[in-house]
Amino acid sequence: DAIQELARYVESSETMMQELVGLSKGIGEIVTGIRSIAEQTNLLALNAAIEAARAGEAGRGFAVVADEVRSLSQKVQNETDAIERRVTDLQNGVSKASGEMIISRECVGKSVVLSTKVGESLASISGTISTIVNLNEKIACSTQSHSQKAVEIHAGLKSIHTAAVDSAESARVASTVGSEFSILARQLQDLVSQFLLPEKGQEEKVLLQKVIEVRKELCVEEDSEEGDIVLF
């Protein structure tokens, strides 16, 4: 905005300089007219002096007036020359200033275009920075989310490890208990066999068959990977 305002001031100043150029030319024309009048007055005074000389004694007074008029005409002509020189200098200065104002206007115009481009570039940079900030925020949120998921995964793996350790311990205990029950079943079978009687063969066979089934179940329980024990 400041550069555009400066451009308006420069353009206004250039217009004023053009007006000054026109005024200085008008003054020069007036001075030229005054010079012409002074020259004509000088010629008239010279002619009057000549006529007064011809008139002799009668024209002597008129000759004095003619000389005075010619002297004044010469002074006017000299002053006119001085004014003309001043006006010429003024015209040259105004013309030079006008040329400088034209150059300044062109430079200001280029500055306006450049400032517009700079403004557009700054706006583009600002938009890019905003995009980068948004991306950084998204990356930060994503990183935080991944970190939280990593913590959850670690906790899950830790729970799985604990469960695996507990399962292994349970399997070991079940294996130990199964072995002990197997030993007890064999001992029970041997003990029952010692008390079998011939006349009661059918009942003892049934009892022995149940002991054998219990023993088989205990052996199956011992080999199971789940580690669960079914008691009878």
Instruction: Read off the pLDDT of residues 8-47 as tens digits, 9 standing for 90 and up.
Output: 777 777 777 777 778 878 888 888 888 888 888 888 888 8
> What's the predicted TM-score (pTM) here?
0.42
Provide the residue ranges of all domains of the chain, joining segments of one domain with +.
2-135, 164-223
With b for 16 or more beta-carbon neighbours within 10 A and e for fewer, the 129-146 pattern comes to eeeeeeeeeeeeeeeeee
Which pLDDT belongs to residue 185? 63
H or E element, residue 86:
helix 60-194
Which pLDDT belongs to residue 232? 40
SS3 for 231? coil
Which pLDDT belongs to residue 201? 54
When pLDDT is averaged across residues 111-117 and rounded to a whole number, the result is 77
Which pLDDT belongs to residue 214? 63
Which pLDDT belongs to residue 224? 55
44 touches 69 (CB < 8 A): yes
| pLDDT, mean over the chain | 73
pLDDT higher at 37 or 202: 37
Spatial separation of the C-alpha atoms in residues 215 and 219, rounded to whole Å: 6
Which pLDDT belongs to residue 229? 42
When pLDDT is averaged across residues 57-70 and rounded to a whole number, the result is 77
| pLDDT category of residue 225 using cuts at 50, 70 and 90 | very low
User: What one-character-per-residue DSSP string does 164-196 give?
Assistant: HHHHHHHHHHHHHHHHHHHHHHHHHHHHHHHT-
45 CB neighbour count, 10 Å cutoff: 20
Which pLDDT belongs to residue 53? 79
With b for 16 or more beta-carbon neighbours within 10 A and e for fewer, the 188-226 pattern comes to eeeeeeeeeeeeeeeebeeeeeebeebbeebeebbeeee
User: What one-character-per-residue DSSP string does 190-224 give?
Assistant: HHHHHT--GGGHHHHHHHHHHHHHHHHHHHHHHH-
94 touches 24 (CB < 8 A): yes
Which pLDDT belongs to residue 218? 59
**For the purposes of burial, counting CB atoms within 10 Å of the CB of 31, is it exposed (0-12), middle (13-18) or buried (19 or more)?**
buried
For the domain made up of 2-135, the CATH class stated in words is: mainly alpha
SS3 for 226? coil
70 touches 42 (CB < 8 A): yes
